[in-house]
Amino acid sequence: MYNLQEQIAIVTGAGSGIGRAIALRLAREGASVVAADLDGKAAGQLAKEITDTENRALAVEMDVSVEKDVERMVKEAREGLGPIDILVNSAGTGTTGLILNHSVEDWEKNMAVNLRGTFLCSREVAKGMILRKKGRIINIASISGKQGEEFIGGYAASKFGVIGLTQVLAKELARYQIRVNAVCPGYIWTPMWENLAKWFRGSFPSLAEKSPVEIFENRVKSVTPLRRPQTPEDIAALVAFLVSEEARNITGQAINVDGGAVMH
């Protein structure tokens, strides 16, 4: 267990999936959690689940790609719980299909949520961290941000950007004792992967009879040395370590949790 008592963490995209698992893990480690999500109902349910365990939590409905929403989220977090010690940028989205068929709207959606959202939240939270000369920022990137993946071009490009932004922030904020790292998940069954599997099934006749889950599982086995998918809890475990004092000398890194699929 990591001692995160008296720490206050913002987790974006906390309403479901990886973000939800991270928020629950940080709460279990003793942190007070601001659950931020576009789905206010899901964020509220998560916050209640945390407060039912006698931990402090606050739900905020917001869009990470909207500057005023980000400013409001941070203001409500500080007023409701206190100064922010931890930020986890987990909100994300993804579109599928050949890059040549990407619409400008699809491209901009990936960039707005995945990259601009990470920038806006990091910039706003870092202001308070700089004044206190302490803090940890974790950006959820992807192995697709290290090795471009076909059929998810806009998503991959945005995640390359997240890793680059992580490195810049780590260098600029280190003088204030603020650590910034990225976590790169591998193959986790998500709505984006379900959409991609459906696209595969419709685009390749040899896959027409397979279910989306079968397509996903076959992909995992073919490219992952450990031959198993990852879980949101796997990602949350690394995040908990990276925000703890055990990782006090780790910054500017993009660490894979992918069963060995990408080894750099």
Known catalytic residue at 155? yes
Q: Point out the catalytic residue in the list 2, 155, 176, 187.
A: 155
Q: In three state form, how does the secondary structure of the chain look?
A: CCCCCCCEEEEECCCCHHHHHHHHHHHHCCCEEEEEECCHHHHHHHHHHHHCCCCCEEEEECCCCCHHHHHHHHHHHHHHCCCCCEEEECCCCCCCECHHHCCHHHHHHHHHHHHHHHHHHHHHHHHHHHHHCCEEEEEECCHHHCCCCCCEHHHHHHHHHHHHHHHHHHHHHHHHCEEEEEEEECCCCCHHHHHHHHHHHHHCHHHCCCCHHHHHHHHHHHHCCCCCCCCHHHHHHHHHHHCCHHHCCCCCCEEEECCCCCCC
The catalytic residue positions are 155
